[in-house]
Chain A
Amino acid sequence: GIQVEQSPPDLILQEGANSTLRCNFSDSVNNLQWFHQNPWGQLINLFYIPSGTKQNGRLSATTVATERYSLLYISSSQTTDSGVYFCAVDSGGSNYKLTFGKGTLLTVNP
């Protein structure tokens, strides 16, 4: 099956700093999503981005489908950005199946 690798596994920032999270995937995809899991376990959908670039406030994402990677940018980080960021892909086929990476644990200190 498709492989999803995220880096870095852990990231510690001071409030106000910027960061870039990376997701590499091993095959072509028709769906790529970024999620944020808060410390209480809630997974929130951030972006649906199988290709191109999107921005939502301080967050933006870029997927280069031909090179099989996606980047999530967080600018002017806040303590509420802390949590785990997951990349998940769907490579198509007859079944609906999202394959998740192991995530990046982000800690933003005040």
Chain B
Amino acid sequence: GAVVSQHPSRVICKSGTSVKIECRSLDFQATTMFWYRQFPKQSLMLMATSNEGSKATYEQGVEKDKFLINHASLTLSTLTVTSAHPEDSSFYICSAMFRQGNEKLFFGSGTQLSVL
């Protein structure tokens, strides 16, 4: 089955630093990947859609200058949280669409970001 690898799984950083999260599709090419954020006891919230070779599409209310997305290859998308603040502490998850017959969405294992 399709595998999506995400790392790091956990990051603790000081306020004001930038954090990069990587999302890789290991055995398939993903022209589109999605980035989500999930606060405790809340649902997944789509932040942005990452398209290979073009700019990401951000959801309303998500600051594109704060959450930088780069999708430079068909197997890698990165999310950089710039100048992180405590309110950015959250669980970040990526996913990629796998197409073999029917479309299916596979997720990375998530990154728990804690900003001190």
Q: Do A and B bind each other?
A: no
Chain A interface residues toward B at CB < 8 A: none
